[in-house]
């Protein structure tokens, strides 16, 4: 590909930080992870942060730490990466899918109708680097006594009305290489809830506070100090990375927004978007289908991706569990979405080439 859909931004600072840990001989979870957790909590604006092995384990630990278990229901979106709902299944609880709005996010006005006596939590996903309407979601949660676990795996630094995602309920982040910041593979939980924090520490490390004494059934979901050291450096650069993504998205919105049949990705009212993905909709007015556009961009050596081609309630693994398609807006949008490169490594000429390729397709 001439232009990749994602490009991890690793500099000399990360390389030096890894070498320092290598030379220390202390590779497993240690002081670097602790510092990374402190820095991350400060950035998000929570009292606590707990580093884990990836975003999926962050979600599982957060759900378990809040007592989600067999027989419970957790309300979430079907328009997300499968880990959002699988983490619920791991606990023995059942995800309940609520449809989205045309901003790709769970429709808060449909949540209350999905609440049953078994509902224990709401798990909104701040997809693509956006932010859900946390005013409405927190009000519903409070009214019904529900826990809120935010899937912030794609939203490092995004804000709802000036407050960071991951700081409203208990937040879960992924640090996978395509994300706005990375450590390789890693995750982070953010919370102000002290009992959930303490339980998360136990769950992450085999239920152990004192070495070789185990209080509860836990796991090995730890982060290494090599990853912690990378995370410290990446977090320092995150505001700059996000600003570059916002600038790239603004240019694409301006130029692609002029083309008939393309709906560009404008941040919803109240959202500071960090454009983890820049996702447009190819509507019938464009003249070519989404898949035809995807093929033409691939031919032009421009990396693209469809996030996501199938809503979760249509995935075989969920069909086999008895789920039925019941989210028509998610169905419609999966047929139209196309994500384009927006990462901080793009040059102005790359952006111009993407726009020119679309202009030629539209002729």
Ligand X SMILES: Cc1ncc(COP(=O)(O)O)c(C=O)c1O
Q: Does 80 engage in binding with ligand X (CB under 6 A)?
A: yes
Nearest to 138 by CA among 119, 111, 118: 111
Q: Does 153 engage in binding with ligand X (CB under 6 A)?
A: yes
Residue choice 29, 46, 56, 200 for contact with ligand X (CB under 6 A): 56
Q: Does 91 engage in binding with ligand X (CB under 6 A)?
A: no
Residue choice 72, 107, 133, 151 for contact with ligand X (CB under 6 A): 151
CA distance 263 to 260: 8
> Which residue stretch of 76-84, 277-285, 295-303, 322-330 sits at the interface with ligand X (rule: CB under 6 A)?
76-84
Count H helices, E strands: the chain? 11, 13
Residue choice 154, 167, 277, 357 for contact with ligand X (CB under 6 A): 154
Strand extents, DSSP E, 62-198: 73-76, 94-97, 119-123, 147-151, 159-160, 163-164, 170-174, 187-191
CA distance 239 to 112: 35
CA distance 317 to 40: 34
Q: Smallest gap, in angstroms, from Cβ of residue 326 to ligand X?
A: 21
Nearest to ligand X of 81, 286 (CB atom)? 81
Residue choice 33, 125, 230, 282 for contact with ligand X (CB under 6 A): 125
Residue choice 55, 95, 157, 228 for contact with ligand X (CB under 6 A): 55
Q: Smallest gap, in angstroms, from Cβ of residue 78 to ligand X?
A: 12
Looking at residues 159 to 188 of the shown chain, list those that interact with ligand X (rule: CB under 6 A).
Answer: 174, 176, 187
Nearest to ligand X of 29, 357 (CB atom)? 29
CA distance 38 to 112: 36
> Which residue stretch of 25-33, 111-119, 150-158, 330-338 sits at the interface with ligand X (rule: CB under 6 A)?
150-158
Q: Does 311 engage in binding with ligand X (CB under 6 A)?
A: no
C-beta separation of 237 from 304 below 8 A: no
Residue choice 40, 48, 81, 221 for contact with ligand X (CB under 6 A): 81
If 0-12 CB within 10 Å is exposed, 13-18 middle and 19+ buried, where does residue 324 land?
Answer: exposed
Return the axis-axis angle of helices 12-24 and 225-256, rounded to nearest 10°: 170
CA distance 279 to 288: 17
Residue nearest to ligand X (CB): 55
Number of residues forming the site for ligand X (CB under 6 A): 14
Please state the length of the chain.
363
Q: Does 279 engage in binding with ligand X (CB under 6 A)?
A: no
Which residues of this protein are in contact with ligand X, per CB under 6 A? 54-56, 80-81, 83-84, 125, 151, 153-154, 174, 176, 187
């Amino acid at each position: 590909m001439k232009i990749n859909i994602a490009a991890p931004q690793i500099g000399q600072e990360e390389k030096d930080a890894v070498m320092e840990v290598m030379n220390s001989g202390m590779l497993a979870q240690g002081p670097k992870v602790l510092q990374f957790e402190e820095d991350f909590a400060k950035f998000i604006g929570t009292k606590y942060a707990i580093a884990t092995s990836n975003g999926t384990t962050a979600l599982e630990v957060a759900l378990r730490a809040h007592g989600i278990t067999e027989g419970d229901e957790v309300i979430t979106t079907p328009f997300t990466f499968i880990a959002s709902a699988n983490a619920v299944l791991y606990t023995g609880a059942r995800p309940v899918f609520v449809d989205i709005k045309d901003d790709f996010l769970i429709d808060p006005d449909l949540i209350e109708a999905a609440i049953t006596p078994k509902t224990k939590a709401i798990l909104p996903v701040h997809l693509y680097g956006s932010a859900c309407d946390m005013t409405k979601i927190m009000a519903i949660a409070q009214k019904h006594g529900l826990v809120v676990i935010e899937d912030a795996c794609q939203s490092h630094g995004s804000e709802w009305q000036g407050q960071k995602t991951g700081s409203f309920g208990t937040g879960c982040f992924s640090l996978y290489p395509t994300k706005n910041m990375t450590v390789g593979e890693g995750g982070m939980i953010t919370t102000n809830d002290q009992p959930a924090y303490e339980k998360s520490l136990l769950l992450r490390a085999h239920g152990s506070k004192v070495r070789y004494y185990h209080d509860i059934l836990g796991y090995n979901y730890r982060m290494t100090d090599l990853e912690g050291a990378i995370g410290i450096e990446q977090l320092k650069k995150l505001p700059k990375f996000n600003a570059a993504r916002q600038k790239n998205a603004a240019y694409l919105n301006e130029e692609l927004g002029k083309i008939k049949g393309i709906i560009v990705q404008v941040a919803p009212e109240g959202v500071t978007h960090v454009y983890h993905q820049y996702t447009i909709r190819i509507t019938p007015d464009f003249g070519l289908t989404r898949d035809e556009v995807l093929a033409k961009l691939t031919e032009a050596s421009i990396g693209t991706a469809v996030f996501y081609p199938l809503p979760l309630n249509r995935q075989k693994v969920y069909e086999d569990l008895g789920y039925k398609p019941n989210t028509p807006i998610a169905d419609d949008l999966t047929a139209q979405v196309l994500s384009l490169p927006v990462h901080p490594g793009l040059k102005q000429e790359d952006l111009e080439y993407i726009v020119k390729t679309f202009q030629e397709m539209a002729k």
